[in-house]
Amino acid sequence: MPTSITQYLEAVNQGEAGASDELLNVVYASLRQIAANRLGRDGATLHPTELVHEAWIRLGGNDAVDWKNRFHFFAAAAEAMRRTLIDNARQKQAAKRGGRSAKRVTLSGHEPTELPLADELLDLDDALTAFEKVDPLKAQVVKLKYFAGMTIAEIAEMTNLSAASVERYWAYAKAWLFEFMSDED
Amino acid sequence: MHKTDDEIFCFALEFDSPEQQDQSVESACQGDTEQATRVRKLLRIHRRMQQADRGDSSVLDRAELVFQTFASNDELQPGARVGAYELIEKIGEGGVGVVFRAEQREPIERDVAIKLLKPGMDSQRILARFALERQVLQQLEHPGITRILDAGVQENGRPYFAMELVRDATTITDYAARFELSLQQRIRLMIAVCEIVQFAHQRGIIHRDLKPSNILLEAKQQDAPAPKIIDFGIAKLVRSNDDESQTFTNLGERFGTPAYMSPEQALNQTNDVDIRSDVYSLGVVFFELLTGSTPRSHSSSGSLSTGWTQKTFWADDPRAPSQWQPNDSVRSVSQAELRGELDWIALKALARHSDDRYQTVADFQRDLKRFLAGEPVEAAGPSWTYRVAKLIRRNRVAAVASSLVLVTVVATSIVTSWFAIRASRAETDANDRLEEVLAIQQELESERDSADQARRQAETMLRVFQVQTATGRALAAHYQSVFSNPQLQGDPETVQRFASELQTSILLEPHARLIVRGDWHWASESFPDEIMLDQLKLSSNDVAAELPIPPPSSSSMNQTTAGTANGEPNEGTIPTQTENSTLPSFRVRLLDELKKVVGADDPFIAEVLDNSGLDAMARGDFEEAERHLRDASSIWRKSDRHLANLVQSKLFLAEALLKQAKLEEARTVLQEAQKLIGTLPAVGRHTKPLRAFLQELAAG
């Protein structure tokens, strides 16, 4: 049984069976804990970046950790975030009688302060699942950017790509996902 | 070589204009029109996304908001079941969790409030604490407190509490704003809230999170608004333990709501949190009821949301309520009235150091009541001048007269009691008396270890100034009548005598300690017997001293009632009355004025009448004595607590009747007195001397 985040990460790196799931569970638990604590603060806004970085530090991560292992962590964190959000959205939707409401994908359909509809998130998840099958690398960029709140530069560093490439991948992925969401039905 | 969609897309992004981009796609697709259409569409979407208001165009650009939903607590929706309860509707959301109205079916059917705590709360610890606190919390039975009925854990591991439900609730501040409560109504509301918090404090429960959203009222207007305080005891249950609190400190996490939290709570001095932290929070609520804002919402030492865990944030005192720009919610509050006492009261409750605050909620409440009654408030501190000003304001009419003679009056308005006459050894110089009064004032203030002491002090000072006011009025009237008398006018001898008569009037109390009295009852309860005896210079083994009656011999009667206990002549005896004395008319005036100021039925008046009766007997005017003593008796009779005084008056009266040879009447009065003595405790401070006097009279 691994005792530190580094050991979890190393296990993933070695391709050990179930290591990815274990890592995911640890990161997931940590993120939930942090998110919950964070909310106690007055007027706290929750930023994914803060959450993930805090989880990283809490779990004992530091600069000495190999970039490959760090990537495993952030990938796991992004996935953990995604699952939490989707679970959350599903619960909300289940509570609403009649399941999913009519599809709404707009470019500027909401006030900035309005929380994204659960439906929208679920649509995004569907699209992302489809996109992962077509283009796992770019889907990974989306997850790191969107669910782990990483910047283009951070992703570039971690994935060993140029920032310009990451920027373009992000643009492509967004357009693809949006198109998928609009076309469905 | 065939290129993939993304390669073509990314390559096209190298170009700036849409035309160039499309052109690049055409050439890259090498005649695959389907692919070209696909990629061109993606580019079109991309360009629109770029043009659309950046940052909120789609779910993909609103990651932060998505995360807020992630962390929000409304996973549970109406209809969901939590333990034995079915959630009906969400009624609130706060720092600790979300609150639902819920229905309980078993074992009884009722509506409750269910508070679902946020994720991350340590369920086991909370439940363990609840098990410990359950007894205490359930004893917290008060109409103004919603009790915690139950605690449990949801399936997802989060704890919840079931609490009594407040229907149609609105917060205290919203209530005040909605019904445009006046300043007085707001203060009364605050007094009611204090009452409730004090109840819990007396049972050892500190709220720790008092704020408007925890102080609720029914949303419709009530004649007598009945606030209800929710979440009593919750804070203690969900508090982090000591190990965790260190971690939370690092994260800037505190339980509670910054705006209403005391400095010791905010700075995490957990050991310093006591009932005075609740005093502070109530102070904030009060402040908000007056100004519409919380006291540190505009602090120069940092914003509330970030600075409140820093020491520097608390370095300055908040501005006084009257210095704030009132907002709409306090439109109905007359801001001009805040200056002065209400400022003092609010700032005292909000003192940074808990030692400087009201030490109990009851103290805070008492000052609010004092303010409403127009009495001096404790928050003002021990300022003599303030109290004088306040009391004079209460007696505006008298002020004109009394201000002329303020100092003289303080010295001479001291009204005697019968016991004090007995104790008098020497006539005290007027200035000495003034000094003594001040010393007692100081002593009382330094003794302010209990709230009761403070109340008595206020009453005492009130009484002093009531007497002073009356004396001032009587003096003014007296001066006028004396000096408008053509016969007396310009006669230096008369003026001289006039002054000396007033100084030595029998109505004047020889011992300053008892000025606070006016009624013996109060004094005897205020001070332990031994202090009393010491102050009165009575020796406890001096049997004669325990006989509080001047020997009814005619010689001493004629001389003075201020004779000593052992019957020796007193150096400072009251001068024998001279002809043309103005004293009798002054006494009548003084008595009238005293009645007006303190009320004709006040026990104080009865004591003055007793003294006047004795005084009259000393002058040999037994008719007048009879009149005074009958009046005194009729006042004493109105209260069960003054039986001893009633007996005393009756005994005096009997004596006055005997002197007039009204033997039948005297016998009746004596019999009444005897019957009354039978109802007094056999061993009482009063009983023994009264019996002795009764025997003496009966023998005579």
Closest to B213 measured CA to CA, from B179, B173, B262: B173
Planar angle of CA A40, A45, A50, nearest 5 degrees: 95
Closest to B463 measured CA to CA, from B324, B559, B354, B602: B602
What is this structure's pTM?
A: 0.43
Chain A contact for B132, CB < 8 A? Answer: no
Question: Is B46 in Cβ contact with A112 (below 8 Å)?
Answer: no
What is the rounded CA–CA span in Å between residue B156 and residue A165? 42
- DSSP letter (8 states) at residue B274: S
Question: Is A36 in Cβ contact with B118 (below 8 Å)?
Answer: yes
Q: Which residue in the block uniquely carries the two structure tokens 């302010």? A: B448
pLDDT at B119 over 70: no
What is the rounded CA–CA span in Å between residue B382 and residue B441? 9
What is residue B564's predicted lDDT score, i.e. its pLDDT?
Answer: 34
Chain B contact for A144, CB < 8 A? Answer: no
Highest mean pLDDT of the ranges A17-21, B115-119, B122-126: A17-21
At B192, list the tokens.
Answer: 């009611």
Q: In what order do the strands lie in the sheet with B85-93?
A: B81-82, B85-93, B97-104, B110-117, B159-164, B148-153
Least confident of B75-84, B578-587, B670-679: B578-587
What is the rounded CA–CA span in Å between residue B598 and residue B601? 8
Band of residue B67 on the pLDDT scale cut at 50, 70, 90: low
Q: Are A166 and A155 in contact (CB under 8 A)?
A: yes
Question: Is A149 in Cβ contact with B258 (below 8 Å)?
Answer: no
Q: Are B237 and B133 in contact (CB under 8 A)?
A: yes
Question: Is A42 in Cβ contact with B95 (below 8 Å)?
Answer: yes
- Residue pLDDT, tens place only, B122-145: 556 676 667 666 766 777 888 999
Q: Report the residue of A28, A33, A41 to disrupt the B interface, i.e. the one with the largest count of B CBs within 10 Å.
A: A41
Chain B contact for A110, CB < 8 A? Answer: yes
What is residue B565's predicted lDDT score, i.e. its pLDDT?
Answer: 35
pLDDT at B546 over 60: no
Least confident of A162-171, B22-31, B145-154, B554-563: B554-563
What is residue A96's predicted lDDT score, i.e. its pLDDT?
Answer: 53
In this structure, the number of other CB atoms found within 10 A of the CB of residue B481 comes to 14
What is the rounded CA–CA span in Å between residue B147 and residue B230? 8
Q: Which residue in the block uniquely carries the two structure tokens 């997931």? A: A28
pLDDT at A97 over 50: no
Give bridge partners of residue B162 from the DSSP assignment. B114, B150
Question: Is B255 in Cβ contact with A116 (below 8 Å)?
Answer: no
- Residue pLDDT, tens place only, B404-457: 333 222 222 222 222 222 222 222 333 344 444 555 555 555 544 444 555 555
Alpha helices (H) in chain A, listed in sequence order:
5-13, 19-38, 48-58, 67-95, 118-134, 136-142, 152-159, 163-183
- Residue type, position B556, single letter: S
What is the rounded CA–CA span in Å between residue B181 and residue B225? 11
What is residue B194's predicted lDDT score, i.e. its pLDDT?
Answer: 95
Q: Are B49 and A106 in contact (CB under 8 A)?
A: no
What is the rounded CA–CA span in Å between residue B583 and residue B588? 9
Chain B contact for A38, CB < 8 A? Answer: yes
Window 251-270 of B, Cβ < 8 Å to A: 251-255, 257-259
What is residue B422's predicted lDDT score, i.e. its pLDDT?
Answer: 24
What is residue A80's predicted lDDT score, i.e. its pLDDT?
Answer: 83
Band of residue B517 on the pLDDT scale cut at 50, 70, 90: very low
In this structure, the number of other CB atoms found within 10 A of the CB of residue B480 comes to 11
- Residue pLDDT, tens place only, B175-234: 999 999 999 999 999 999 999 998 888 777 788 889 998 899 988 877 888 999 988 877
**B674 vs B686, which has greater pLDDT?**
B674
At B103, list the tokens.
Answer: 């229905």
Residues of A whose CB is below 8 A from B53: 108
Instruction: Please give the C-alpha separations between residue B551 and each of A30, B169, B618, B653, in angstroms, as whole numbers.
Output: 91, 70, 11, 15
What is the rounded CA–CA span in Å between residue A155 and residue A152? 5
pLDDT more than 90, % of chain B = 11
Question: Is B120 in Cβ contact with A95 (below 8 Å)?
Answer: no
- DSSP letter (8 states) at residue B321: G
Interval B288-300 mean pLDDT: 80
**B283 vs B11, which has greater pLDDT?**
B283
What is residue A98's predicted lDDT score, i.e. its pLDDT?
Answer: 41
Q: How far is A14 from chain B (nearest CA, A)?
A: 31
Residues of A whose CB is below 8 A from B16: none
Residues of A whose CB is below 8 A from B62: 110, 112, 116
The torsion angle over the Cα atoms of residues B319, B320, B325 and B329, rounded to 10 degrees, is 120
- Residue type, position B215, single letter: I
What is the rounded CA–CA span in Å between residue A5 and residue A30? 11
What is the rounded CA–CA span in Å between residue B374 and residue B296? 29
**B199 vs A84, which has greater pLDDT?**
B199
What is residue B635's predicted lDDT score, i.e. its pLDDT?
Answer: 92
- Residue pLDDT, tens place only, B16-63: 888 888 888 988 888 888 889 889 888 888 887 776 544 444 666 656
Q: How far is A165 from chain B (nearest CA, A)?
A: 8
Mean pLDDT of chain B: 67
- Residue type, position A82, single letter: R
Least confident of B191-195, B400-404, B645-649, B666-670: B400-404
Band of residue B634 on the pLDDT scale cut at 50, 70, 90: very high
Interval B576-588 mean pLDDT: 56
Residues of A whose CB is below 8 A from B96: 40
What is residue B186's predicted lDDT score, i.e. its pLDDT?
Answer: 94
Residue in B closest to A112 by C-alpha: B56
Q: How far is B63 from chain A (nearest CA, A)?
A: 6
